[in-house]
Structure 1
Amino acid sequence: MRRIQLVLAATAALVLAVGCSSGDGGSSDNPKIALLLPESKTTRYEAFDKPLFEAKVKQLCAKCQVLYFNADQDAAKQQGQFESALTQGADVIVFDAVNADAVAPQVNKAKQKKIPVIAYDRLISGIDYNYYVSFDNVKVGKVQGEALLSELVKRGTVGKGQIVVLNGAPTDPSAGDYKKGAHQALDGKVSIGREFDTPDWSPDKAQQQMEQAIIALGKDQIVGVYSANDGMAGGAIAALKRAGYTTLPPLTGQDGELAAVQRILTGEQTMTIYLNYRAQAEKSAELAVALAKGDKPAAPVTTNNGKADIPSFLLEAIAVDKANIADTIIKDGLYTAADICTPDVAAACQAAGIK
């Protein structure tokens, strides 16, 4: 009787173990996928990346649970969130780092636990992990620089003054790539009067930097502004207006923020880079679900991060100006014409043929 009881107990334990093993996911019937985003000042993360990612995960894996965290540009807070994701039993971690240098211990811990990590949007350097999903960031910076140079040529102001360069956060490897690409387009062709790396991608700090540049160079000497993203472009524009500019110099951006699209139509901003957030979020969700199921999808390219060649999906970025807003941002459903053409922008929309 004792032997029968032991056999029955062992059989029950085996059945329980099988019941808790891979079903829809790699480690359980209800896989947990953690999404860690860096901040909310840039509107894309809460407005697009998060909901698009969550919707794609739900479409592909009804039983999957998304654990969502936003670090509010605080590296220490994000470290705690990463630890929390591990504690909550995340099967896969999709991670957009606030400070890429600060996260190595957490990524290492995930690796030790055999939990796959996907670097989302920003490359994490000096450590091995599973995938990287982003855009060709050097090319993005180069396209921005070329757009600025083209507008300077169009206005006949090349060589008649200096430009101000507002790069992104020095802790963000993507910012370094944008900077590299911008210099490829601009070096030797324009005079750079002032250049700043902007902590936290902060629009407020970009405004302060632009004000410093105007004081240092003189209002009449600034013929163009390279801004690495739209939020900082808004800060730069505020500084230019405050200094009394009636006609703003050419000014770049990135992220396709709604306010930036409206500024492009009204002539305050020259261009933005449209990043297909849907493609990025959905590709990352597909990878996360596949990894949760125990699959290892092949990537088309690799990116060397100083430690390893990371399997990578690098998506195309598109330069958007007044001429192609309808054929890009509106066509892809990022915003509708009604979203863009608020009463104060209605005349500019009509002039651009946007209805």
Structure 2
Amino acid sequence: MNALTRRIVVTTAAVSMALAMAACGKAGDDSKGSDKDKGGAKSIGLLLPDTVTARYERFDKPLIEAKIKELCSDCTVSYDNAGADASKQAQQVNTMITKGVKVLILDAQDAVGIRSSVQAAVDKGVKVVAYDRLAQGPVSAYVSYDNEKVGELQGQALLDALGPKATPQSKIVMINGDDADPNAAQFKAGAHKVLDGKVDIAYEQSGLWKDTVANQKVTAAITQLGKQNIAAVYSANDTMAGGIATALNGQGIKVPLTGQDADLAAIQRILTDHQTATVYKAYKPEADATAEIAVALLEGKDVTSVADTTAKSGSGQDVPAKLLTAVSVTKANIKDTVVKDGMYTVAQICTGQFAAACKAVGLQ
């Protein structure tokens, strides 16, 4: 072996040893578990329930993520969506635990069914914040709106729209949300508080938060009651109101119709008299409060400065809570609510076919 060959062999061996030592060092680091690989000491999970309801992907997710980054620049956020599948969300909770998130923001697809997953997360040291819907199990905090009050706003909007036609004989169709969502029961209770005794709830079913199901239910109600006998329709949210409006329009029925969430399509239906009112629950205050609580829990701080009240979950826990106040939206206050708050611009609302209706209410 000549000198040049010996130098090449020695150099190659040295490089190989260096690489091997580096690899061993990296393996050793992994065995200890780096923060990055395990989710990190400042890792927050966010699980939302579905993609059908427009608000979650369009507003809730980006607002929560932005506020967390504002409060904690080195925090990481892991996100997933259940796609309206409760079993899928349960698996997503397990994935978040495996990732090593320290706080989990959870908007439960099935608030009862998710209880064991919440318990599993807490058993692993994860703090769970119930977002918008109060999941059962040992959650650390809950942020939402006063949901019974939302139902009262919806019921009152229906009575206001009916005016003198609101009598104990007036037949109302009531399409409620998904029974797996505890908010649905609260919306329903609030609406009944306002409507019972003043109108006749002649047909009441769950629309499962789906426009297609709500359309089917209202179509069945029209067949059962007769289209001339329906005085108004209560819809628990705007997604279902869209399906209901299609069913009513198809039968030539024009009656008051409620909603919730202030979806863009709902605002446009209100402008064109295909929906009477919606309930505006400003997403930013809800998202901001949730992010503040999540970061506080991450840092081991008290959350009661934000969660200034309590709520009792279906599993009996008294949970620190932040309950915000919603607003009813009709033609009269679109400008002073969703436009003023920057939820939508006039240009987004007043596209071609809605331009004349916008002008009529002073939006252009």
TM-score > 0.5 by shorter chain: yes
Aligned equivalent of 1:86:
97
Is this contact kept in 2: 1:128–1:307, CA < 8 A?
no
Q: Could you report, residue by residue, the CA deviation over 1:78-110 in whole angstroms, capped at 9, with x for unpaired residues? A: 001110000011110000000111111111111
In the alignment, which of 63, 73, 85 is matched to residue 52 of structure 1? 63
1:121 aligns with 2:132: yes
Aligned equivalent of 2:53:
42
Considering Cα pairs closer than 8 Å and 6+ residues apart, tell me whether 1 or 2 has the greater RCO: 1
Q: Could you report, residue by residue, the CA deviation over 1:149-194 in whole angstroms, capped at 9, with x for unpaired residues? A: 111115x353563110000001100000000000000000001110
1:272 aligns with 2:282: no
The structure number with the bigger radius of gyration is 2
Q: In structure 1, what is the Cα distance between the partners aligned to 2:39 and 2:161?
A: 55
Aligned equivalent of 2:154:
144
Task: Report the residue type matching 2:77 in the other structure.
Answer: V
5+ residue gaps, structure 1? 1-15
The offset of 1:244, in angstroms, is 2.5
1:308 aligns with 2:341: no
Is this contact kept in 2: 1:163–1:225, CA < 8 A?
yes
Q: Which segment drifts farther, 189-198 or 208-217?
A: 189-198
Give the SS at the match of 1:254: coil
1:103 aligns with 2:109: no
In the alignment, which of 179, 193, 197 is matched to residue 188 of structure 1? 197
Q: In structure 1, what is the Cα distance between the partners aligned to 2:115 and 2:312?
A: 16
TM-score, normalised by the number of residues in structure 2: 0.87
Q: In structure 2, what is the Cα distance between the partners aligned to 1:325 and 1:146?
A: 18
Task: Report the residue type matching 1:170 in the other structure.
Answer: D
Q: In structure 2, what is the Cα distance between the partners aligned to 1:138 and 1:164?
A: 19
Is this contact kept in 2: 1:57–1:64, CA < 8 A?
yes
Change (3 A) 1:212 1:181: same
Task: Report the residue type matching 2:301 in the other structure.
Answer: D
Give the SS at the match of 1:192: strand
Count of aligned residue pairs for this structure pair: 330
Q: In structure 2, what is the Cα distance between the partners aligned to 1:93 and 1:68?
A: 10
Give the SS at the match of 1:158: coil
Q: In structure 1, what is the Cα distance between the partners aligned to 2:111 and 2:248?
A: 32
Q: In structure 2, what is the Cα distance between the partners aligned to 1:29 and 1:218?
A: 60
1:240 aligns with 2:263: no
Is this contact kept in 2: 1:168–1:228, CA < 8 A?
yes
The offset of 1:282, in angstroms, is 1.1
Task: Report the residue type matching 1:341 in the other structure.
Answer: C
Is this contact kept in 2: 1:160–1:223, CA < 8 A?
no
Task: Report the residue type matching 1:204 in the other structure.
Answer: T
Aligned equivalent of 1:323:
332
Query: What's the Cα RMSD here?
Result: 1.9
Q: How does 1:220-235 map to 2 (within 5 A)?
A: 220-235=228-243
Q: In structure 2, what is the Cα distance between the partners aligned to 1:82 and 1:181?
A: 31
The offset of 1:296, in angstroms, is 2.2
1:32 aligns with 2:57: no
Aligned equivalent of 1:10:
none
Task: Report the residue type matching 2:86 in the other structure.
Answer: A
Q: In structure 2, what is the Cα distance between the partners aligned to 1:130 and 1:77?
A: 23
Give the SS at the match of 1:117: strand
Is this contact kept in 1: 2:41–2:102, CA < 8 A?
no
Give the SS at the match of 1:122: coil
Is this contact kept in 2: 1:30–1:63, CA < 8 A?
no
The offset of 1:128, in angstroms, is 2.2
Task: Report the residue type matching 1:289 in the other structure.
Answer: V
Q: In structure 2, what is the Cα distance between the partners aligned to 1:89 and 1:257?
A: 35
Change (3 A) 1:29 1:73: closer
5+ residue gaps, structure 2? 1-28
Equivalent pairs: percent with the same residue? Answer: 47
Q: Could you report, residue by residue, the CA deviation over 1:281-335 in whole angstroms, capped at 9, with x for unpaired residues? A: 1111111111111212212100011422100000110001001110110000000
In the alignment, which of 160, 167, 173 is matched to residue 164 of structure 1? 173
Q: In structure 1, what is the Cα distance between the partners aligned to 2:56 and 2:76?
A: 19
In the alignment, which of 338, 343, 351 is matched to residue 334 of structure 1? 343
Q: In structure 2, what is the Cα distance between the partners aligned to 1:159 and 1:244?
A: 24
Q: Could you report, residue by residue, the CA deviation over 1:101-160 in whole angstroms, capped at 9, with x for unpaired residues? A: 1111111111112211000000123x2220000000001001100110111115x35356
Aligned equivalent of 1:153:
163
Give the SS at the match of 2:332: coil
Change (3 A) 1:157 1:139: closer
Which stretches of structure 1, 4 residues or longer, exceed 6 Å deviation after superposition? 19-22
Give the SS at the match of 2:333: coil
Is this contact kept in 2: 1:166–1:195, CA < 8 A?
yes
1:174 aligns with 2:183: yes
The offset of 1:344, in angstroms, is 0.4
Give the SS at the match of 2:199: coil
Task: Report the residue type matching 2:344 in the other structure.
Answer: Y
Change (3 A) 1:84 1:28: closer
Is this contact kept in 1: 2:68–2:295, CA < 8 A?
yes
The offset of 1:30, in angstroms, is 5.1
1:296 aligns with 2:302: yes
The offset of 1:28, in angstroms, is 8.3
Is this contact kept in 2: 1:265–1:349, CA < 8 A?
yes
Q: In structure 2, what is the Cα distance between the partners aligned to 1:312 and 1:101?
A: 18
Task: Report the residue type matching 2:126 in the other structure.
Answer: I
